[in-house]
Amino acid sequence: MTIEEIIKNINDFSDSERATIYAEKLNNKWLLSSEAIVLELTEDEAELSIEEISKKYTPGKEYFLEIFLIKELMDGCDEIDKKIIEIIIYYAENDA
């Protein structure tokens, strides 16, 4: 899946605080087309550092954002379009 596909289908994923997107950066940036996965950690795994999780479970991908946070950011959005996804990517790169 890509970042775009995951975000367009965000409501299909758990609201758990441990459900997190890890994505591949292209030219040191996340793009709509960046390959991504949703990883839902166990309580024990959630105690690992982001770097340890990435190395162990998502090689080549980096922490992007938690699912619940994206849902909060999109609260009130009627439609998920590319502009909304680009704003979320901007947030992940600059504010998270």
Q: How far apart are CA 80 and CA 74, in angstroms?
A: 8
* Residue 27 binned pLDDT confidence (cut-offs 50, 70, 90): very high
- Please report, for the chain, the start and end positions of each structural domain, with discontinuous segments joined by +: 3-94
Choice between 31 and 15, residue whose per-residue pLDDT is larger = 31
Give the pLDDT score at 95. 85
Give the pLDDT score at 96. 64
Which segments of the chain are extended strands (E)?
19-23, 36-40, 62-66
| pTM (two decimals) | 0.92
